[in-house]
Amino acid sequence: MTLMCGRYTLRANPKLVAEEFGLFDTPDLSPRFNIAPTQSVPVVRLLPGEERRHLVFLRWGLIPSWADDIAIGNRSINARSETAASKPTFRKAFRSRRCLIVADGFYEWLKTGKHKQPYCIQLKSQRPFAMAGLWEQWHKQDQPIESCTILTTDANELVAPIHDRMPVILRPEDYAAWLDPACQDVDKLQLMLKPFAAGLMTLEPVGDPASRAP
């Protein structure tokens, strides 16, 4: 199987997003049912020297600062959490440019013969959640491009029958340390990158996300 988490959703009320992620302002968000690579996606981050978290929109597909072409981002929508700290594409971001990628569901497909059945995976609480992310800034054009990637881990017992990987869903109590640019203890950070508890999640078959609004 591939490692990719390639589609997800964010339909939550913006006030609920602000509450969940400790944002000072209510973000301007519209419901999105089929968020796809290369699109602009909502991300929470904390910049060095700042105390307030900000929600910003970054291009999904991380473009490392040394890349010659933005096309590399199309192959970097995900990063394996087990190796991101050492891979050239992701290691600098892992140490100081971590973020929370805001979602409330993600899709995986189960292939049976020629048929692919999509499933939507969410929290039982129906609340928005944070997928562990990394972000970068690329400067080789007039306007710099800021981009991000989703970290993945082994699938939990709920997702495993469909796919062998899933996004890292962080616990709320880990948000502060994950966002803190001053936290560069790789071992401590790796402890956060585990499969989320299957008992807190739901999985249900759905129609093709491509037929839904973006």
Question: Taking the CB of residue 114, how many other CB atoms lie within 10 A of it?
Answer: 5
Instruction: Please confirm, yes or no, whether 146 is among the known catalytic residues.
Output: no
- Please give the Cα distance from 21 to 176 (Å, whole number): 10
* Non-local CB neighbours of 30 within 8 Å, separated by 6+ positions: none
For residue 108, indicate whether it is catalytic.
Answer: yes
Chain-centre distance for alpha carbon 139: 23
Tokens of 16: 């609920």
CA-to-CA separations, 86 to 79, 159, 196, in angstroms, rounded: 11, 27, 23
Catalytic residue selected from 5, 99, 120, 148? 5
Helix (H), strand (E), coil (C) string for 107-133: EEEEEECCEEEEEEEEECCCCCEEEEE
Q: How many C-beta atoms lie closer than 10 Å to residue 27's C-beta?
A: 17
Which position among 20, 99, 108, 146 bears the catalytic label? 108
The structure tokens listed for 174 are 């880990």
- The count of other CB atoms within 10 Å of the CB of residue 83 is 11
Catalytic positions, written as ranges: 5, 108
